[in-house]
Structure 1
Amino acid sequence: MGNTVVVALYKFVTLEDYRELREPLLQCMLDNQVRGTLLLAEEGINGTVAGSRAGVDALLGWMRADPRLADLDWKESFCDKPPFLRTKVKLKREIVTLGVEGISPTRRVGSYVEPADWNALISDPDVLLIDTRNDYEVRIGSFRGAIDPQTQSFREFPDYVREHCDPARQRKVAMFCTGGIRCEKASSYMLEQGFDEVYHLKGGVLAYLEQVPEAQSLWQGECFVFDERVTVNHDLTQGSHVMCHACGQPVSAGQQQSALYRQGLSCPHCHDRLPEKTRQRVQERQQQIELARQRNQPRPLGPGSGEASSAD
């Protein structure tokens, strides 16, 4: 187990003063040497951060001192080196972008399902199981029998529901995502669309992998995460995928053996379709990364930097 604590957290809660919260929250992160990105919006807080045990505990304690965040929940994992290079607190319209006005999990939300009860639910043949994550995440791993909406961003999820789901035929719907935030908001949307029984995995896939023994697991593959680890295994250790800095797509261990894969420059997903200007840009960026590594400096950000903390 590594000595860097990685914390994924979110909470849907009304924060009318979210703009005023930004500076003190950022200062708390800086004071405790916690890196990563937190998103603040009127609908709540979301993000992934990492630091020492003491630093992370201090940040969580500061947040939970606010009565509105007193019951804040989070998932922890560990790694050998810091997965984030910078410390950010961003102000947003939504803490996860669905792009549909009037959808609020603080007013209406589906039924939470504990990881221990998830297998029984999704084994029910009458349950429609939907993976609310993006297509590149689903490609890496998913639950057995789950439907892949083939969305490239969470904004596309409402279109998928309108075109492919019918509340008159599919009365029971179960959804999941990485940490729980997307499927929670999706459940609110599904209820607004007239679906009667809507369930979502509490804590997301990360909570399931942590709590359900691998021998009993219905999860197949690795799980994509929004930091430099790229993916995690069932035991939440770092997985085998790396990120292509040219196109931002995860690259499997097998694809890394391809002649089309060049670290920082191309991968089988993008080798034959990269515009020349993009190719030149990523080559320059890779040179900057190598120079930063030699100087022991933070590497420059780019399309596949892993610095995202939420999933749009």
Structure 2
Amino acid sequence: MVMNMTNTYPYKIAALYRFVALSDIPALKDRIAAECARLNICGTLLLAPEGINGTIAGAPDDLDAIVDVLDELFAVRQGELKYSHASDKPFKRMKVRPKKEIITMKQPEADPTKLVGTYVAPKDWNAIISDPDVVVLDTRNQYETAVGTFRGAIDPKTEFFTEFPDFVKQHLDPAKHKKVAMYCTGGIRCEKASSYMLSQGFEEVYHLKGGILQYLEDIPAEESLWDGGCFVFDQRVAVTHGLKEGTWDICLGCGHPLTPEEHDHDAYEAGVSCSHCHAGLSDERRTMLRQRHNFLIRERGEGTRA
């Protein structure tokens, strides 16, 4: 008997991006916002002269309908488009935002519509990153890498993607590091990073097509070189192989992802703090967070903490 996924997971999620030249961003924004409102879609879409990027969710039929609209406008199915499911509404509202870049790097020479590295399918990724001559780079930020990484990958420990070019300039040399392979959540950051690195003279630059999410969907756990979960930017917090929801949650004090074990730490206080932020919280902010947490508890009818 085949299980109906929509009965188990009422929300369908689409993570998408495509580098494509756009004009008249305000008109596109209004059109998309109206269609999303009509179809009860939630999430965020970014529009910029270089393309579209975002993650959205809705009832399966409604989500499919909005993807049809986006494909008509931007040919998103020619870019990266990945589906998953969630048991709870993953976003509170819908936002359509005009931006200067769909993924901010602030490096004009990084233009994937003109120059981009070699795409590597998930089935070929293990062979690439197992090559001792290949430098493997995680292009995500450190709160994401704390959840999981590929074995042997270098973590630049950046707080923002805009810091990635500085890491490259300080730690990598085109004359020495001839082969570089990069990855990120869904492919957009490593695609843009590959364009930047080629512009800086690196000879062979590879990036994981579809990102970690595609790898976790395609590669069986027993063949995987991925350790941990993959941080995602919605209420699921992280997913594992097969894009199953993980057991992580978020500290509401600092936004750092937490394992179930970290709830047992003395510094953990639900809705307020964790071991990553407890020492740095001011009394004023701690009080504000407790008040917010108590308000949310009352709204859910769960009673108030002492």
**TM-score normalised to structure 2 length:** 0.93
Aligned residue among 57, 62, 81 for 1:50:
57
Q: Which position in structure 2 is the counterpart of 1:37?
A: 44
Secondary structure in 2 matching 1:66: helix
1:235 CA displacement: 2.2
The answer on 1:125 being equivalent to 2:132 is: yes
Q: Which position in structure 2 is the counterpart of 1:206?
A: 213
Query: How many Å separate the matches in 1 of 2:75 and 2:22?
Result: 8
Mark the runs of 5 or more structure 2 residues left unpaired by the alignment. 1-7
Aligned residue among 4, 12, 33 for 1:26:
33
Secondary structure in 1 matching 2:280: coil
Aligned residue among 165, 168, 172 for 1:158:
165
Q: Which position in structure 2 is the counterpart of 1:309?
A: none
Q: Which position in structure 2 is the counterpart of 1:139?
A: 146
Q: Which position in structure 2 is the counterpart of 1:217?
A: 224
Q: Name whichever structure is richer in helix by fraction.
A: 2
Conserved? CA contact 1:231–1:240, under 8 Å: yes
What does 1:91-106 correspond to in 2, within 5 Å? Answer: 91-106=98-113
What does 1:186-201 correspond to in 2, within 5 Å? Answer: 186-201=193-208
| RMSD across aligned positions (CA) | 1.4
Conserved? CA contact 2:116–2:198, under 8 Å: yes
Query: How many Å separate the matches in 1 of 2:271 and 2:38?
Result: 33
What does 1:1-312 correspond to in 2, within 5 Å? Answer: 1-66=8-73, 68-69=75-76, 71-294=78-301
Q: Which deviations, in whole Å up to 9, do the C-alpha atoms of 1:60-88 show, x marking residues without a partner? A: 00011126546243111111111111011
Task: Look up the equivalent residue of 1:172 and give its one-letter code.
Answer: K
Conserved? CA contact 1:64–1:72, under 8 Å: no
Task: Look up the equivalent residue of 2:130 and give its one-letter code.
Answer: S
1:101 CA displacement: 2.4
Task: Look up the equivalent residue of 1:232 and give its one-letter code.
Answer: V
Task: Look up the equivalent residue of 1:220 and give its one-letter code.
Answer: D
Query: How many Å separate the matches in 2 of 1:94 and 1:127?
Result: 29
Secondary structure in 1 matching 2:153: coil
Conserved? CA contact 2:16–2:76, under 8 Å: no
Conserved? CA contact 1:8–1:49, under 8 Å: yes
Query: How many Å separate the matches in 2 of 1:191 and 1:148?
Result: 20
Secondary structure in 2 matching 1:64: helix
Percent of aligned pairs sharing the same letter: 48
Mark the runs of 5 or more structure 1 residues left unpaired by the alignment. 296-312
Task: Look up the equivalent residue of 2:103 and give its one-letter code.
Answer: V
Query: How many Å separate the matches in 2 of 1:292 and 1:165?
Result: 51
Higher relative contact order (CA 8 A, sep 6+): 1
| Moved segments of 4+, more than 3 Å | 67-70
Query: How many Å separate the matches in 1 of 2:183 and 2:239?
Result: 17
